[in-house]
Amino acid sequence: MEALGVDVGGSGIKAAPVDLKTGKRLTKRKRIPTPRPSTPDAVYDVIAQLVEHFSWEGPIGCALPAVVQAGTVLTAANIDDSWIGHDAATELGERLAKPVDVLNDADAAGLAEKVFGAARDLDGVVILLTLGTGIGSAVFTDGVLVPNTELGHLEFHGTSAERYAAARVIDKGVTQAEWALRLNEFLQHLERVLPPDVFILGGGISKNFDAYANVLETRATVLPARFRNRAGIVGAALATRGTR
Ligand code: BGC
């Protein structure tokens, strides 16, 4: 069984067909910059282009950087405000003329790590964080996802945790070493409010995991995500199996 996974991010919209038995992409992923403004219609145009690029006729799953409940988007931190209240599952399904499974991007990443990656076979409380434009979170208890947690929006240092410690701050004058200390502070904060057994760190920055892991001082084990920033695509494809 195969499905097209689409991952809508703050800067790029990425897609690839995924083998649902192995979690492997069948071809190279295709990335198109996120349109500005990133309204639903503009994003759907890009998704339609991606579907056409892969000549895709099978199932489609789509990860969005927002709270998604029963197909409807409830927040919009890094996408256009017009998403709020938008029924993405219905509207995107109509645009593509087929049913589409829509979910939060960090939940998608968590799903990929749970089925094929670093969270596989882990019991207890596992918190996966995606560190990119924002901070996304996926929380599992004994392998069951608690959907739509938004730990990146906890208030922290007078702002939100994601404004303080998302990987994006590295492009804004903060060095990677300084950012790693900020991340450590945030992980320690999470350990005070929702102590996990394991943290899994995802997002593109997880490829540098070895360079910053040594400054992280947590009681919980910290693991790098297996899929890094590919997890959203794999998890979006997996969502079509109804395994959430
Ligand atoms: C959004 C989350 C999303 C995260 C990563 C945050 O700003 O509120 O829903 O998972 O960014 O994209």
Q: Do 203 and 135 share a structural domain? A: yes
**79-135 pLDDT, tens per residue?**
999 999 999 999 999 999 999 999 999 999 999 999 999 999 999 999 999 999 899
How large a percentage of the chain has pLDDT more than 90? 93
Most distant pair of Cα atoms in the chain: their distance: 49
Q: Do 158 and 74 share a structural domain? A: no
* Closest Cα to atom 11 of ligand 1: 134
**Nearest atom in ligand 1 to 105's CA:** 10
Q: Do 147 and 102 share a structural domain? A: no
Rounded to whole angstroms, how far apart are CA atoms 49 and 18? 18
Q: 156 in a domain, yes or no?
A: yes
Question: Encoding tokens for residue 37?
Answer: 């403004």
Pocket test for ligand 1, best of 67, 104, 233 (most atoms within 8 A of CB): 104
Residue 189 CA to ligand 1 centre (angstroms)? 19
pLDDT at 195: 98
Residue 105 CA to ligand 1 centre (angstroms)? 7
Q: Do 78 and 143 share a structural domain? A: no
**Is residue 2 pLDDT above 60, yes or no?**
yes
**124-152 pLDDT, tens per residue?**
999 999 999 899 999 999 999 999 999 99
Residue 134 CA to ligand 1 centre (angstroms)? 6
Q: 126 in a domain, yes or no?
A: yes
Q: Do 70 and 53 share a structural domain? A: yes
Residue type, 57: E
Q: Do 84 and 163 share a structural domain? A: no
Q: Do 102 and 14 share a structural domain? A: yes
Q: Do 160 and 83 share a structural domain? A: no
For residue 243, what pLDDT band results from cuts at 50, 70 and 90? Answer: very low
Q: 116 in a domain, yes or no?
A: no
Pocket test for ligand 1, best of 11, 34, 74, 105 (most atoms within 8 A of CB): 105
* Closest Cα to atom 4 of ligand 1: 136
What is the CATH number for 6? 3.30.420.40
Q: Do 194 and 101 share a structural domain? A: no
| pLDDT, averaged across the chain | 96
Rounded to whole angstroms, how far apart are CA atoms 234 and 7? 9
Rounded to whole angstroms, how far apart are CA atoms 109 and 100? 17
Residue 120 CA to ligand 1 centre (angstroms)? 23
Rounded to whole angstroms, how far apart are CA atoms 66 and 155? 17
**44-65 pLDDT, tens per residue?**
999 999 999 999 999 999 999 9
Q: Do 98 and 10 share a structural domain? A: yes
Residue 2 CA to ligand 1 centre (angstroms)? 26
**188-225 pLDDT, tens per residue?**
999 999 999 999 999 988 889 999 999 999 999 999 99
The pTM for the full model equals 0.97
Rounded to whole angstroms, how far apart are CA atoms 128 and 130? 7
- Ligand 1 site residues (CB inside 6 A) read 65-67, 75, 77-78, 104-106, 130, 134, 136, 150, 152-153, 162
Q: 90 in a domain, yes or no?
A: yes
**Nearest atom in ligand 1 to 75's CA:** 8
Closest to 78 in 3D by CA, of 62, 88, 66: 66
Q: 9 in a domain, yes or no?
A: yes
Q: 73 in a domain, yes or no?
A: yes
Q: 182 in a domain, yes or no?
A: yes
Q: How many domains would you assign to the chain? A: 2
Q: Do 138 and 102 share a structural domain? A: no
Q: Do 102 and 149 share a structural domain? A: no
**Nearest atom in ligand 1 to 134's CA:** 11
Q: 114 in a domain, yes or no?
A: no
Domain that holds residue 145: 121-225
Query: Exposure string (b/e) for 230-243, b if CB count within 10 Å is 16 or more?
Result: bbbbbbbbbbbeee
Contact 18, 234 (CB under 8 A): yes
For residue 242, what pLDDT band results from cuts at 50, 70 and 90? Answer: confident
